Amino acid sequence: MANDASTVFDVVILGGGSGGYAAALRAAQLGLSVALVEKGELGGTCLHRGCIPTKALLHAAEIADETKEAAEFGVLATFQGIDINGVHKYKDDVIAGLYKGLQGLVASRKVTFIQGEGKLSSQTSVDVNGQRIEGRHIVLATGSVPRSIPGLEIDGNRVISSDHALKLDRIPKSAVILGGGVIGVEFASVWKSFGVEVTIVEALPHLVPLEDENSSKLLERAFRKRGIKFELKARFSGVEYTETGVRVSTENGKQIDADLLLVAIGRGPVSAGLGYEENGVAMDRGYVLVDEYMRTNVPTISAVGDLAPTLQLAHVGFAEGILVAERLAGLKPMPIDYDGVPRVTYSNPEVASVGISEAKAVELYGKEKVVTLKYNLAGNGKSKILKTAGEIKLVQVKDGAVVGVHMVGARMGEQVGEAQLIYNWEALPAEVAQLIHAHPTQSEALGEAHLALAGKPLHAHD
């Protein structure tokens, strides 16, 4: 460790995941002295147990599907199966490369990286490895871990969390996934492509229930076609071990046998026993409460990332970390508009959105003020070439800006960049219609949807 006992850092950050390391990098860039305390691996959940490994698995799954469907494109290829060790090697190589890069970046910005489990010991210090690290400001960024239901024990073998699923050294014949949110749906998609019989059990009426209902229904239709089963409005009531696997029961009397159960019902904050409450930090069910500038009730302490009750996304963690660093450096950052954060579920097909759903728009503006438009990807040349189905749905305030963009289809995650500019710059449909989109691209579908909303559809019926 580079500091001596008399050093007082400008910022001490507890947790080196997306939120913590973004705060560290930006603070150091702005000339602040920074200590970053991490008990595990720099990069946290996203790099090692979240975004990156899941997306690598999803890419391997896409290649498997494309190989199986190659004949439809006139390509002769034979799908022989999945070499799970090969998949893990590919995934781990991606992680290792990014991890190395991130370590180099943190070192190059002269952040003092401290390996060890830290604990908040006062409103201006963190204890780690038996040493007290003082800071003018503290940023709490200890993130989250998979959650379970009381009485449902995750044994890591037959009842697993996403952490275990990412390292599974076998491909099960069948799996039940508890939870139809982003993580559950992504694993369902991967496993189905790998040949697993998958059933999702979701208590709410739809898969990806935070999305516009239209997107959920399109995903459900696509999953049905792919043979991914799901039970909606089905509350989990118990799991028992069978000779070969598990039997999952729901309150509506269903029993599903499978090799394993993946519990994907959400993630809870990492805050227990870390000295937060003892040092006066206001909390709610383990989350650290913050205002729009990520300030806690203690003037010297901020919190970012999954530990705060905001959207649990890596890019939200980055943005919150940057916001805190800029505030502490004396800049005047703007609060985050969480509706303007792009959201992507990287399943096959992908679900991507930004802004608000139709239901929320109706709630906010009244039914008569809300206009929607659906553009079917069947009219989009590139989507046809890819043989993908789906839709782009726009939500507009009558005679005003586009307040929601909701997309389902292959590679739609890549279109969310333009969609977020449209939402965040409060674009009018006519303004977007004015922009020329390259042909044939999938982004053209966004352009065509806005042409239609502006009253001059091209490749769509009036």
Ligand X SMILES: Cc1cc2nc3c(=O)[nH]c(=O)nc-3n(C[C@H](O)[C@H](O)[C@H](O)COP(=O)(O)OP(=O)(O)OC[C@H]3O[C@@H](n4cnc5c(N)ncnc54)[C@H](O)[C@@H]3O)c2cc1C
**Among residues 23, 34, 201, 313, the one that binds ligand X under rule CB under 6 A:** 313
Handedness of CA 205, 207, 209, 212 (dihedral sign): negative
Contacts of ligand X in 248-307 (CB under 6 A): 270, 274, 305-307
Contacts of ligand X in 170-229 (CB under 6 A): 183
Check binding of 16 to ligand X (CB under 6 A): yes
DSSP-assigned letter for residue 295: B
DSSP string of 184-204? HHHHHHHHHHTT-EEEEE-SS
Residue 370 to residues 101, 332, 421: CA-CA distances in angstroms?
46, 34, 20
**Among residues 33, 124, 250, 312, the one that binds ligand X under rule CB under 6 A:** 312
Check binding of 348 to ligand X (CB under 6 A): no
Of 229, 227, 228, 208, the closest CA to residue 217 belongs to: 208
Query: In the complex, what is the shortest distance from the CB of residue 95 to ligand X, in angstroms, rounded to a whole number?
Result: 13
Check binding of 127 to ligand X (CB under 6 A): no
Check binding of 20 to ligand X (CB under 6 A): yes
Q: What is the 3-state secondary structure (H, E, C) of 421-435?
A: HHHHCCCCHHHHHCC
Q: Is 439 a catalytic residue?
A: yes
In the shown chain, the binding pattern of residues 139 to 178 toward ligand X, with x for contact by CB under 6 A and - for none, equals --xxxx-----------------x----------------
Contact (Cβ atoms closer than 8 angstroms) between residue 389 and residue 436: no
**Among residues 1, 7, 8, 39, the one that binds ligand X under rule CB under 6 A:** 39
Query: In the complex, what is the shortest distance from the CB of residue 239 to ligand X, in angstroms, rounded to a whole number?
Result: 21
Contact (Cβ atoms closer than 8 angstroms) between residue 18 and residue 306: no
Q: Which residues does 74 contact at the CB level (< 8 Å), separation at least 6?
A: none
**Among residues 315, 369, 374, 459, the one that binds ligand X under rule CB under 6 A:** 315
| Active-site position among 88, 439, 450, 459 | 439
Alpha-carbon span 358 to 372, nearest angstrom = 8
The smaller minimum CB distance to ligand X, of residues 341 and 449, is found at: 341
| Residue type at 406 in one-letter notation | H
Check binding of 349 to ligand X (CB under 6 A): no
Binding residues vs ligand X (CB under 6 A): 14-20, 37-40, 44-46, 49-51, 54, 117-118, 141-144, 162, 183, 270, 274, 305-307, 312-315, 317
Q: Which residues are catalytic?
A: 439
